Amino acid sequence: MTIVARFTMDYTRFLDPSGKAVAELPDFARDTECLVALYRAMVLTRVFDTRAVALQRTGRLGTYASTLGQEAIGAALGEAMAPEDVLVPSYRETGAQIARGVKMSELLLYWGGDERGSCFTGPREDFPISVPVASQSCHAVGVALAFRLRGEPRVAVSVCGDGATSKGDFYESLNAAGVWRLPLVFLVNNNQWAISVPRSRQSAAETIAQKAVAAGFSGEQVDGNDAVALRAVLDEAIGRAREGGGPTLVEALTYRLCDHTTADDASRYRPAEEVSGHWAEDPVVRLRNHLVAAGVWRKAEEEALLDECSRAVEAAVAEYESLPPQEPASLFDYLYAELPAALREQRESLVRGGGGDE
């Protein structure tokens, strides 16, 4: 017998669940301002998230997908991407979207069922939230191929959950990205549950990261509750893609402390003791403990940050709720640059019937 290939999977962690460093920190993490920026982004994401769930529970928002327990992923991704890169998000990238300049009021509009929430005033080329799982992977391949054909030093980043990696769209995207060596990073938020299906019943593969091996490029695991590790791994993967080194698959190991969405009740299928055990890995507490131990974060800074975040979120809520409802005829306005004749007639009919905006 001849062995024709071997592979290993790296796993990166710098901070343990208590916030203590377990390895020499990367260069950027020696600048405490960088770590404070990461922490601030995570706290803002959590404050927004808590308020969004409350809005849904009181009938002021539609179904919402919480990011509770997964704030490190969005915050680190937002810091690692350059403004000219393109984010192709799933529905749990709130932190990354805010960091890239999407207004919180726009996110509330989206979850309130208003398409104006997908028309960002900030990152105009970032994709809107796409709920169908693994669709993000295909879209990102197209974006990255466009960068390649134009000769632009830009990177596309697609994000999906662990459940999405069982879809054909995901595998086909990996294959295309590997063959064409596209400037693309696949970031998998492995929060252990695809709605009510645990990771162990989704795939027999020992890791999700190793799925990259079959596509001919690198995959690796990272502690998804360690913002420092995530930032380091994403910096390297995005930098490699920008320099022509091809795609990378990054599997961020985390845990979904919340329901899948506000339409879900995870207590029906998930043991309470499993959830409570993972609270000990809370990414927000982990980084705060590290900052406190380093002497750069105190009670006064914490209270000021919480007040600042609450005021910013409340301003976004006020802006969201003050906007007049979208006109019914607008449902024709977002699929075509120029409406086909048949749809134009339907739109005009709707307007004539008194349901439109003209």
Say how many CA atoms lie within 13 Å of 1 toward its Cβ: 2
Residues that are catalytic: 256, 260, 269
Which pTM value belongs to this model?
0.95
What 3-state DSSP class applies to 333? coil
Strand 10-12 and strand 218-223: pairing?
parallel
Token pair for residue 281? 């890995």
**H, E, C per residue of 137-150:** HHHHHHHHHHHHHH
Residue type for position 312? A
pLDDT, one tens digit for every residue, the chain (358 residues): 999 999 999 999 999 999 999 999 999 999 999 999 999 999 999 999 999 999 999 999 999 999 999 999 999 999 999 999 999 999 999 999 999 999 999 999 999 999 899 999 999 999 999 999 999 999 999 999 999 999 999 999 999 999 999 999 999 999 999 999 999 999 999 999 999 999 999 999 999 999 999 999 999 999 999 999 999 999 999 999 999 999 999 999 999 999 999 999 999 999 999 999 999 999 999 999 999 999 999 999 999 999 999 999 999 999 999 999 888 888 888 888 899 999 999 999 998 886 544 4
Q: For the chain, give me the number of helices (H) and strands (E)?
A: 12, 8
- 171 burial (CB, 10 Å; 0-12 / 13-18 / 19+) is middle
Domains of the chain: 10-325 (3.40.50.970), 331-357 (no CATH)
CA distance 51 to 159: 24
Cβ-count burial 320-337 (b if 16+ within 10 Å, e if not): beeeeebeebeebeeeee
First-last CA distance in the chain:
75
